[in-house]
């Protein structure tokens, strides 16, 4: 049981912070199917910086780890500008923009990873080897049955994500900016009438979405395989979108959905291991979160209340 909780949290928390990014974007009125590409592009920047720093500081230094997290957020934020410009400035179809950005990120990061490995590091590889992240355990509390697993073998990024998620919650629900952002997703004309620049608010929301997605991508890279490659995050962006829809575009219910997905994934894997099944069954277990997503959406989607102006192109002249 402890193993299920430990592994489940290391998957659920990056998924959660990426879903928060999606909430920010969609509560402002911009549909964001580009989470997959944003996390990949952000993680690429973070992984590249980590590799360069590791070559200078040595593999035992923890500095590259934390610098990579920051750089991944910056990379994801910069890449998200493409989605913001297309959807806000040029009023492109938001769904098509998100899909194209995902495809572009996959192709671009794969090409750049191979090219940099070949020309800079002299290694024909499609991945950056990051090494194993340090983990730590809280003494005393970790001995408590079941609950102690939450404080056992903790990745540093899990603490970072919890802190940033708390800040994101406060910013969205307890500040004027958060009020303006949520109003842009429900009634942008009223926001504009109040003298607030709708386009500027939406730009900021999409950029925050990119930053949080980049952080999630870097966390997945360090926790799943200790490598960065364009294949490690495939599907996670869409899973985060499903989590925020199931969470009704609210942060705390979305956390519950992400924990459910994380525990389903780790629990299924542990069952395969305990039963001594062939490794092919472990691959089959990877679909459990997606099957669970389909079931949840079938039964609960009728109760969802999406932002009223979600996906609508804002035209100031129609006010």
Domain boundaries, the chain: 2-318
Phi-psi region of 144 (alpha: psi -120 to 50; beta: other; left: phi over 0): beta
Using an 8 Å Cβ cutoff, are 190 and 183 in contact? yes
Consecutive H or E run containing 202: helix 198-220
In this structure, the chain runs to a length of 319
Q: Report the topology of domain 2-318.
A: ABC transporter involved in vitamin B12 uptake, BtuC (1.10.3470)
Q: Which residue is it, tokens 């609960």?
A: 300
For the record, the structure tokens of 144 come out as 């408590």
pLDDT at 289: 75
Helix segments in 28-93, DSSP class H: 35-57, 63-84
Q: Among residues 240, 248, 223, 297, which one has the least CA distance to residue 37?
A: 240
Which pTM does this prediction carry? 0.94
Contact 106, 229 (CB under 8 A): no
Measured between alpha carbons, how far is 127 from 229 in angstroms, rounded to an integer? 5
- Beta-sheet strands, E only, within the chain: 128-129, 227-228
pLDDT tens, the chain, 319 aa long? 788 888 889 999 999 999 999 999 999 999 999 999 999 999 999 999 999 999 888 877 889 999 999 999 999 999 999 999 999 999 999 999 999 999 999 999 999 999 999 998 888 888 998 877 788 898 888 888 878 888 889 999 999 999 999 999 999 999 999 999 999 999 999 999 999 999 999 999 999 999 999 999 999 999 877 889 888 888 899 999 999 998 999 999 999 999 988 888 888 777 767 777 666 666 666 677 777 777 777 776 667 789 999 998 887 766 5
- pLDDT tens, position by position, 59-76: 778 899 999 999 999 999
Long-range contacts at 96-103 (CB < 8 A, ≥ 24 apart): 97/34, 98/31, 98/32, 98/33, 98/34, 98/37, 99/33, 99/34, 101/34, 101/37, 101/38, 102/33, 102/34, 102/36, 102/37, 102/237, 103/37
Of the candidates 223, 256, 208, the one whose C-alpha atom is nearest the C-alpha of residue 84 is: 208
């Amino acid at each position: 049981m402890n193993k299920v909780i430990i592994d489940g949290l290391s998957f659920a928390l990056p998924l959660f912070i990426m879903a928060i990014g999606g909430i920010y974007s969609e509560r402002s009125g911009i549909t964001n199917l580009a989470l997959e590409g944003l996390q990949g592009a952000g993680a690429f920047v973070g992984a590249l910086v980590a590799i360069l720093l590791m070559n200078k500081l040595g593999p035992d230094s923890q500095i590259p780890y934390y610098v990579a997290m920051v750089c991944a957020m910056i990379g994801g934020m910069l890449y998200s500008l493409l989605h913001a410009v297309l959807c806000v400035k040029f009023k492109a179809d938001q769904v098509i923009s998100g899909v194209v950005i995902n495809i572009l990120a996959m192709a671009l990061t794969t090409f750049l990873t191979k090219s940099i490995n070949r020309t800079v590091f002299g290694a024909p590889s499609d991945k950056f080897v990051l090494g194993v992240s340090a983990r730590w355990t809280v003494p005393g509390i970790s001995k408590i049955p079941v609950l102690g697993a939450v404080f056992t073998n903790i990745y540093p990024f899990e603490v970072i994500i919890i802190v940033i998620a708390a800040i994101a919650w406060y910013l969205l629900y307890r500040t004027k900016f958060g009020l303006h952002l949520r109003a842009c997703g429900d009634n942008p004309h009223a926001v504009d009438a109040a003298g607030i620049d709708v386009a500027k608010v939406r730009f900021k929301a999409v950029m925050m979405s990119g930053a949080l997605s980049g952080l999630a991508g870097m966390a997945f890279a360090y926790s799943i395989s200790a490598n960065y490659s364009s294949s490690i995050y495939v599907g996670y962006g869409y899973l985060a979108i499903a989590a925020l829809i199931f969470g009704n575009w609210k942060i705390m219910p979305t956390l519950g959905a992400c924990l459910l997905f994380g525990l389903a994934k780790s629990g299924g894997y542990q069952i395969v291991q305990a039963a001594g099944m062939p490794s092919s069954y472990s691959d089959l277990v990877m679909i459990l979160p997606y099957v669970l997503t389909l079931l949840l959406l079938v039964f609960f989607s009728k109760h969802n209340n999406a932002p009223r102006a979600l996906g609508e192109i804002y035209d100031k002249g129609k006010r």
